[in-house]
Each structure stands twice: as structure tokens, then as C-alpha cells.
Amino acid sequence: MKKQTLIYNGKSKQIFATESQNFIIMTYKDDETAYFGVKKSVIPNKGMLNNKISALIFKYLEKNGIYTHFVEQLDESEQLCRRATTLPLEFIVRNIIAGSLSRRLDIEEGTVPEQPIYEICLKSDVLRDPMINRYHVEGLGIAKEETLNQILVILKKINELLKNLLKKSHIDLIDFKVEFGFDTEGNLMLIDEISPDTARFWDSESHEHLDRDLFRRDLGDVETAYKEVLARLENVLQNG
């Protein structure tokens, strides 16, 4: 399948139409951003690394019963995906308190909550992705109650699957963000990406960051850390 018109040009990815109504091609960029585009840079090989990391994770989730948009990795920076009607929402799952939650509620980063915490944000760069609750989502007609219930069940399953996978790679899953959409037949599916750009990964022993916080907070070399994440996942998924 070949790339046709550019449908969407995002901060870290581009989406192209294909000759089929049912599929799109997603291209990962080397551009790195933080704080809603205020901090910007180009990280060599980041597109390739996130493409490979996310492809491995989506394949693993599919194998374990999660329906996703992922079809196949086409080359170093491209994936063939099912076309989706997207929900304008971001779902965050937190196993350990970090980032915005730590700042907002003044809870020390690294604190372990009694149970995972789920957040919903409205996707809007202009509004800085405001957090909303399920009553906003249902009341404003963004998604139906049954869809949100379905998503919550899927989020729990994804969290358990990812925690298990990453544990084998000696990585703790601190938090992650995912998005959902509907395929051309109306089935709910996981879309977008799961990578060190959209999740917090801490080395299980040293607690070093292996994610976008390296860039956000100038903590170290992003490319080296993302390469390390990919190597550890390949080791578990391809050789283990």
C-alpha cells in the first residue's frame, strides 16, 4: 500500500491516506516536543526507535487480545494501520505518581497509590489538554457511557499486560497515555502509539528515566535511552 495525501501533520507523527478507505500510513518523526510545543528539538533516530518500540508493544497487545489499529511495520519509520474515527480524548493510567499529578496535588514523585489512577484529558493543544471526568465526556456527547465502560476494562488489561512485559525487561511502568478510536465498522480499538514518548519507563534497579522526561528535564541522552528500551523489549519479545 502506498502513501497518498497527508491527512494529519502532528508534533511527532504524520498520517497519510492510502488507496484503501480502511487503512492509513503513520510516519514517525524525529521531532521531540514538551510543554505543548514550547520546548522543541530533533532527536536522531527517535522516529525509527519509537516506530519499532510501539510496533513491538502493539503486536504484543494484539497477541494478548487487545484490538488495535496496528497492521504491520512497513519500514524504519512507517506503519500500516487501520483507519480510525478518533475520540478526542487521552486516557492516562498511573501506577506511580509522577509528572503533572505530582505537581498538581503536591505528592512526591515515586509515591505508590493504593490502586492505579485513571485520568481523562480532552485533546486540545490550545486548551493544554484539560483534565475532564466521565460526566463531561458523556454529558457533552463525546463518548457514550458504554464506550467509557469498555475503555476502562481495556485500560486495566493493557496496564497488566504492559507491566508484565516491562518487568521482564527490568523496567517499571510508571504511567502511560493511550488513545482510542473506531474502525470503519464501528469497533472500538486502541490507536496512536505506546512508546517512551507517551509513557514513563524507569529502570527497575537504578530508577533512571528511560523516557521523554530525559528531554523534558534535560536529564540525559534520549537516543541512548530509547535504544536501550528497544533492545530490552526485543530481547524479551523476540528472543525470550
Binding site for ligand UDP (CB under 6 A): 90, 92, 98-101, 129, 175-177, 198-200, 212
Angle of CA points 21, 25, 31, to nearest 5°: 145
Q: Which is nearer to ligand UDP, 84 or 210 (CB)?
A: 210
Q: Which is nearer to ligand UDP, 99 or 116 (CB)?
A: 99
SS3 40: strand
The residue behind cell 504492559 is: 162
| Least Cβ distance, residue 18 to ligand UDP (angstroms) | 26
Q: Which is nearer to ligand UDP, 105 or 153 (CB)?
A: 105
| Least Cβ distance, residue 119 to ligand UDP (angstroms) | 7
Sign of CA dihedral 29, 88, 123, 93: negative
| Least Cβ distance, residue 174 to ligand UDP (angstroms) | 7
Q: Which is nearer to ligand UDP, 74 or 181 (CB)?
A: 181
Q: Which is nearer to ligand UDP, 78 or 211 (CB)?
A: 211
Helices (H), the chain: 46-63, 99-105, 134-139, 145-168, 213-216, 222-234
* Those residues with Cβ within 8 angstroms of residue 22's Cβ, 6 or more apart along the chain or in another chain: 82, 83, 183, 184
Cα–Cα distance between 77 and 99 in angstroms, integer? 28
| Least Cβ distance, residue 2 to ligand UDP (angstroms) | 29
Q: Which residue is at the shortest CB distance from ligand UDP?
A: 99
| Least Cβ distance, residue 35 to ligand UDP (angstroms) | 7
The residue behind cell 488495535 is: 68
Cα–Cα distance between 153 and 2 in angstroms, integer? 35
Q: Which is nearer to ligand UDP, 119 or 183 (CB)?
A: 119
| Least Cβ distance, residue 107 to ligand UDP (angstroms) | 12
- What's the half-sphere exposure (Cβ side, CA atoms, 13 Å) at 153? 10
